[in-house]
Amino acid sequence: MKSPLPIHRLKRRAKLLRREEEVPLHAALDRVAIEEGYRSWSLLMARQPEAMPASMVFARLAPGDLMIVAGRPGQGKTLLSLAFAVEAMKRGNRCVLFSLEYTESQLAERLGAIGAGQGAFAGLFALDCSDAISADYIVGRLTGAARGTLVVIDYLQLLDQRRDKPELALQMRVLKVFARERGLILVFISQVDRSYEGSGKPFPDMTDVRLPNPLDLTLFDKACFVSKGELRFQSAA
């Protein structure tokens, strides 16, 4: 695998490709990444430590925090969330990923992309792929979790998919109280509405978060918005 060109040059190439072939920007970025020897743009960006300062963001998280990590597909939000998990495990804290998106092998590939191969943090990482994922399910699974445990929910809208579960707003309030009481850090990966791509904004923001049903987004203490492998962090504090 060759060393990639500077990121600004790769982005310029992707923008040209988008105009010439009239494809979405995220698809053009993936094409450029493949030409550089990577399977996707997000995996290429994982090899650029200066582009995703996960350690700097993680240092600003505190037990009890809820953080949203939002972006369009292929922009690196899952890898960034996993990088937070690695930072937590480096400090001896346990991490749990609730997801219907990834298998064990896919997860191992993505952890490997950020330098955390299988076995690097034995006993500290768990993947839960249950179809029953909801606020009550998460609370039940984490009843004995130690203070400082980092929890990644992939993704926020997953909690809003089943009609037999409480509405998203109620579930989020349950998780907010639970995180505060137990001293857990909850990271929610979130989809961003497609309309953002035509907005001209360099990064999405809270107004771009895709919400089929109402949710008070002030429930989140911190936010990371990801675009083209870079991030913008903001704190409610």
- One digit per residue, the tens of pLDDT, for the chain of length 237 reads 454 566 767 878 888 998 899 888 888 888 988 888 887 877 776 665 444 478 889 999 999 999 999 999 888 898 899 999 999 999 999 999 999 888 888 888 888 777 776 567 878 999 999 999 999 999 999 999 999 999 999 999 999 988 899 999 999 999 999 999 999 999 999 999 999 988 999 899 999 999 989 999 999 999 999 987 788 899 865
Match 């804290």 to its residue by tokens.
93
Match 């955390």 to its residue by tokens.
116
Beta bridge partners of 96: 126, 151
Fold classification of 54-235 (topology level) = Rossmann fold (3.40.50)
Whether 76 and 36 have beta carbons less than 8 Å apart is answered as no
Amino acid at 194: R
Domain ranges of the chain: 7-38, 54-235
Q: Any idea what DSSP says for residue 197? A: G
User: What pTM was estimated for this model as a whole?
Assistant: 0.80
